Amino acid sequence: MVVAVTLKKNIRAQDVRIVEDHLSFPGVVKIAVAADLDEAAAIRAATLIEEERPAGIRVLHNLPLPPPATLPSSGATNGEEPGPPSAAPPVEGIWYPIGVTAVITPAAASLTAAQKAALTDAVEAAITSFVESLGVGDTVVYNRLVGAIVAVDGVYDVSLDLYPAAATERAGRRNLIPSPPDTRPRLDQLEVTLRGALIALDVAVGVERKGLAATADPAAALEDARTDILRRLNDLLRSLSGPINQSTLLGGLADTETYAVHDLNYTSEFVDEGLRVTAANKEIEPSADQQPWIRSVAVTESVQTT
């Protein structure tokens, strides 16, 4: 912690990970520093580590130092036997690059161009701040990142993908664990977009519980199904290129191990235009500047009869 406090302009406490394994590596302390340091700062940090190193303890670190001959002396040893010199392996992989794609549903139906730009900037700042607050080895928790975005004033909802920057598939709704563990998450790719003119769909489905859900608490099982259906339908709408109709939505809800959808009905509202379509299951063909969105899903239990 001496390193983090003394070099607070360069290294924060969360940028440092200290590991001791008394069984596998007795007498060895490993220090991983995930921060962009110039040569002078790295030398100062290494000197501080050496000054604080207990006698007989070897410290391994990843600081980007020049050849050992140029490393300044840590001072007199007061007659103590010096421990083995600190190792400085090449600095590789101190970062765990990640990417974030966020599609934002604004709280207001109509925003000016300036308001849209300001909201986008605020969301980007929230995501950047969240990632920068993480330390070495910290898991990027998906739900916490969603919470940080939704907390931004003017955000109603968000569809979020979180993925390693090197991944070919830029989609993911899961936590990311840095690998190797001595790396710190870094935001390398960020894309924030606002939904266009919204077409809100309110969907009602009848489901039959299956498998383990058939004997589980009905309310809990139906809520799990509702959450999953909401996610699956919004995923479907994001990739849908044709019209929206009853058969298209049902086709995106294949049976799972825990439920089967037997019927589906919906109504729609063109939010920006203030137009609500009261007729059920009216086919909709969104234009390029319109964004369909599943606003709500109501689930009831239904048993298919033969």
Amino acid letter for position 60: L
- Cα angle for residues 28, 33, 35 (degrees, 5° grid): 170
Residue 89 has pLDDT above 50, yes or no: no
pLDDT confidence tier of residue 86, bands split at 50, 70 and 90: very low
Within 10 angstroms of residue 213's Cβ, the number of other Cβ atoms is 20
- Measured between alpha carbons, how far is residue 229 from residues 96, 146, 201, 252 in Å? 33, 19, 13, 9
Q: Among 49-53, 123-127, 171-175, where is mean pLDDT lowest?
A: 49-53
Q: How many helices (H) and strands (E) does the chain have?
A: 6, 10
| Average pLDDT of span 174-188 | 87
**DSSP secondary-structure letter at 175?**
-
- Are 216 and 259 in contact by the 8 Å Cβ rule? The answer is no
Which pLDDT score is estimated for 1?
Answer: 39
Which pLDDT score is estimated for 70?
Answer: 46
Which pLDDT score is estimated for 25?
Answer: 65
pLDDT digits (tens, 9 = 90+) for 244-297: 999 999 999 999 999 999 999 999 998 766 677 878 999 998 877 788 889 999
Higher pLDDT, residue 181 or 251:
251
Residue 64 has pLDDT above 70, yes or no: no
